[in-house]
A and B are shown apart, each in its own frame.
Chain A
C-alpha cells in the first residue's frame, strides 16, 4: 500500500516535470517553432563570413538590403534605399530612407551604407564569397541620406546582389565588434531581433517593434520565434506530428500527401528555381569512351523519361527544364535550347549508330536522394546502359569531380543563390572555372560578353548562343526544377516562395 502510493506519486511527479518543461508548438502563445536542417548549420552568423544556404533566411530576418526584390514578380522595389538613378555606366546614386533604426538603437543613414559597402569590397576584410562584392569599386557619402556607388566596370547584375547577399550593417557597432561580435549578437534593421544563438541547435528571435516604416518585407507576425536545427527529416516529422514544431521545410513529396492527411496539419509543395541537371564529362577527364561521344549523350537524353520523373517523384509544380538555367532568370531563353523528348527507340538507334548497340557500363554519381538517380538508372537500363550509382556526401563528390575528374556522369543541382540572372548558374559552370567540366572556349567567351555588357540585348543574344551550344553538345542534360515541400500547422498563414528563401517573419497565426 505504502509502496504503491509512493510509486504513484513519483510517476506523477516525473510526468509533471516532463510535461511542464516540454515547449509545445501551436498558436497559443503567439510564438512559432520552426525546424530547419537540410542545408546544415550556419557556419558563422555574419552574412559575409557564411557561405551556407541556411544563412540566407537568417540574413533576411535580421538585416535589410538597399533594394527589395519582389519575390513573385522579381521586380526591384525600394527597401533601405527609397529611390535610385544611374549617373553613369558605372555609378548609381541611392536616396536612403529616413527614420530607420538598427536593433541597438543606432540610426540608419549614409554612413552605414558607405561603411558596409567599402568594408565588404576591400578584399583584405576577407568576405567569403568574393563574387558577391568584388564588382564594387567604392561608395561615397553625398549627404546624410544620399550615397553614390561606383562599380569597377558596367555590371548589369548589380541589383541582384544589392537585393540579395549585400545586407547593410551598422557602422559604429560593426567597426567595434567585427565579424565575431556580429556572430555573437547580430544587429541589423530587419523585422526580427536575435535573442540568442546556439550554433547548430537553435536560434531565438523576437519581433522588432521599430520595424514600422512601411518596409515591403512586412512586419513580423509573431512576437517570438524559435528556429531549431534538426538535421534528420524523420525526426522533424516526428516533432511535427507530436506538436513539437509548427513548420518543417525539408520533407519529401511523399510526405506531403501523408502529412496533409493528418488532422491539424497541412502540407504543400512549392517549386523553386533550384535547377537539377545531369552533367557529363564531355571534356573527357574520366577517360570514359562512350560518354565522350555526342551521340551517346543524345541517346541518354532521349532514354530518360523526365516527364514521368517529375510527375511521379518530384511532383508539385515542378517541371521539366530544357535550359542550363532557370527560365525566369535573365537571359534564360527557353527557345534557344535544343530539346530532347523521351524516345527510347531513338535512343537505341543512336546508341547503335555510336557503336554501342549492346549498351555500356557507366558510373553515376549524386549526393541527392538515391531514388531520383535510381529512376534515371532504370530508364537507362531499358536501352541497355548499365549505370552503377555512387552516392557521396556533397563535399566529397565535389572533390572527386574537381581534383580527380573521375565522374563520367552526375546528377546535381544549383540554386543560383536565389539570383534571378542566368550568370548565377550558367556562368558559374561554363566559364572554365573549377566546376566547368566541358571547357568550351566559345561558350566561355559568349558568357563573358553576356556577363559584362550593360546592353540587355547584347547580353540576351550571347546567352542564347551559349544555351544553344550547351544543350546542343549536351554538356548538361537539364532535368527539372526542384520543389520544396512544407508541412505545417494548419492554423498558420503560410507563404512559400520560388526563390527558396523562407521569410519566416511573414508567418503568423490565423486569428
Chain B
C-alpha cells in the first residue's frame, strides 16, 4: 500500500510538471512579456532592459526551470501588470471561488437528493417527470445563457437579487444556481437509482417487517446508504465547478480566480495564468489521487496490480 501510494503520488507530481511545462511554453508564445511590463509608453531601450532583467532573453526551458524551482517553493513570481506577488493575488481571490464552488455543489445536492428521493419513491409522478424534463433540456443550454436569463428575470425585472459583486450572501444566489444547476441531473439520477436499490434491499425489508415508521426507514436507513456514492460524485463535480467558474465569475462580476485568469489572459499577465492553471490542475490531480487511494484502501487488489 505504501509503495502504491508513493508510486501514485509520484505520477501525480509528474503530471503537474508536464501540465505546467505545457502551459509555460504556450503562454510564452502568446505575448512578449517585456512589452506588457513596460506599459504603453516604454521605448525600445526600456523593453530591452526589461527583457534582460527578467531573463526573457534566455532559452524557454531555462526560464521554465527557474520558474518551476521557485514555484515549488511557493513563489509564483510577480504579476506583470499589477506588480504584486501572484501568491497574494490568488490567495486574496481564491476564497470567492471556493465559496462559489462549495455553495454550488451544496445547491446541487440540496436540489438533487430530495428530488431523486421523491422520484425513487414515486416514479412517474408529476414531480418526477418535471424534474427530468428540466434536467434534459437544461443540459443542452449553455451556462452563460442560463446565467443571463436569471439576471434579466431576478435581477432586472423583479429586482429580487443583487446582480454583481460578492459583498453579501445574496450576491452568491444567482451564480450558485447557474453553476450548480448542471451538476443536478447526474446527482439526481444517482440518488434515484441508489434509493431504488436500497429500498428493495433485504435490510430495508427487514426494517419494514419490524414495523419501523416509513420516515425513520427513509431517513435513518435508506438515505444514509444511498447518499454515499452521491457525495463521492459531488466531490468530483466540485473540481469541475472551479473551472466552470470562469464564465460565471465574469458575468456576475465575482472577483475570484476564475475572473482573475480571464483578466490576466486579456493582459498577457503570464505568471498569473500559469499559477491558476497549476492550481486547477492540482485540484484535479489531488482529487483523483485521493479517490484512487480510497479505492485501493477499499479494494486491496488494486494496489497489488
Contacts and interface: CB of A to CB of B under 8 A. Distances in A.
Given A49-B83, A433-B43, A403 B170 contact: no
A402 B40 contact: no
B170 A21 contact: yes
Interface size, A (range): 35 or more
A231 B265 contact: no
A43 B36 CA distance: 12
B81 interface: yes
A41 B163 CA distance: 19
Interface in A239-270: 239, 241-244
Interface stretch (A110-118, A332-340, A350-358, A390-398): A390-398
Contacts of B81: 43
A228 interface: yes
Contacts of B159: 242-243
A235 interface: yes
B39 A238 contact: no
Contacts of A399: 31-32, 35-36, 268
Contact of B163 (A202, A235, A394, A428): A235
Contacts of A201: 165, 255
Contacts of A49: 83
Contacts of B255: 200-201, 229
A17 B170 contact: yes
Contacts of A238: 151-152, 155-156, 163-164
Given A44-B82, A230-B253, A238-B156, A18 B161 contact: yes
A428 B40 CA distance: 10
Contact of A393 (B148, B253, B268): B268
Nearest to A396: B31
Contacts of B148: 234
Contacts of A244: 162-164
A76 B46 CA distance: 33
B215 interface: no
A21 B165 CA distance: 12
A203 to B, nearest CB: 13
B82 A402 contact: no
A199 interface: yes
B258 to A, nearest CB: 13
Contacts of B252: 235
Given A128-B39, A399-B32, A434-B43, A40 B163 contact: no
Contacts of B83: 43-44, 49
B151 A51 contact: no
A142 interface: no
A399 B37 CA distance: 12
A241 B156 contact: yes
B206 interface: no
A395 B268 contact: yes
A131 interface: yes
Contact of B155 (A23, A200, A242, A398): A242
Given A231-B263, A394-B266, A395-B35, 5 more contacts: A51-B40, A393-B267, A399-B268, A402-B32, A433-B44
Interface of A: 15, 17-18, 21-23, 40-41, 43-44, 49, 51, 128-131, 199-202, 228-232, 234-235, 238-239, 241-244, 393-396, 398-399, 402-403, 428, 433-434
